[in-house]
Amino acid sequence: MIDEKQLIRQCKNGDIQAFEKLIEGYQKKVYNIAYRMLGNSEDAFDVSQEVFIKVFKAIVNFKEESSFSTWIYRIAKNVCLDELRKKKKAQVVSIHSTIQADDSEFSIQLEDFQKGPEELLEIKELKNEVNKAINCLTDEHKLVIQLRDISGFSYEEIAEILQCSLGTVKSRISRARNSLKNILISKQEHFKSNGV
């Protein structure tokens, strides 16, 4: 395997082939982060392409102080949040779309959760419910759950990507998971009593 630093040096000279090789291992994760944040494959496609174009343009200024991987995910995070911000500005907030409650945001799709409690006993079903519930989280919590529990980044990596302290990461993950739990509970009253 060619050394990443070597590839980065080549990229700084505008070598597209080297760039494509360099990002190979990051594309899928970036696409998945974008998909999670934006909620549909079209936007995820566009945004993750934008991420790599930005990385390509900015790699000249990449100082190699942080690892390339966290830098690329940081850019992904920024582009996603930027896109969401743009979308939110353009969006007329509909009373049916979101309800703000404490620090969690519930999307109203109750029918998704009207299944019998016995189904929730099955891990497969629970996985689907959890997947849907993640999409009801705030953007910040969505991101942290995606990074930690789906993509499997370590706390240290997340701290670098989000550029915050380990303590912040710890408490944010904890809050995000609690919100997730609350969403699941609020949508399925019997969730708890069936002891998963």
CB-based burial, 45-82: b 16+ in 10 Å, e otherwise: eebbebbbeebbeebeebeeeeebbbbbbebbbebbee
Q: Of 67, 101, 123, 190, which lies in the binding site for other proteins, with binding defined by CB under 8 A?
A: 123
Does residue number 97 form part of the binding site for other proteins (CB under 8 A)?
no
The pair of structure tokens assigned to 183 is 């969403």
What is the three-class DSSP state of 25? Answer: coil
Distance CA 28, CA 36 (A): 12
How many other C-beta atoms can be found within 10 angstroms of the C-beta atom of residue 86? 10
Distance CA 185, CA 62 (A): 44
- Measured in residues, the chain has a length of 196
Residues 38-77 vs other proteins: string with x where CB under 8 A?
A: ---x---x--xx--xxx-xxx--xxx-------x--xx--
Residues 4-43 vs other proteins: string with x where CB under 8 A?
A: ----------x-x--xx------xxx-xx--x-----x--
Q: Of 7, 84, 136, 137, which lies in the binding site for other proteins, with binding defined by CB under 8 A?
A: 84
Q: Which residues bind other proteins (CB under 8 A)?
A: 14, 16, 19-20, 27-29, 31-32, 35, 41, 45, 48-49, 52-54, 56-58, 61-63, 71, 74-75, 78, 81-82, 84-85, 88, 93, 123, 126-127, 129-131, 134, 138-140, 145, 148-152, 155, 162-165, 170-171, 173-174, 177-178, 180-181, 184, 191-192, 195-196
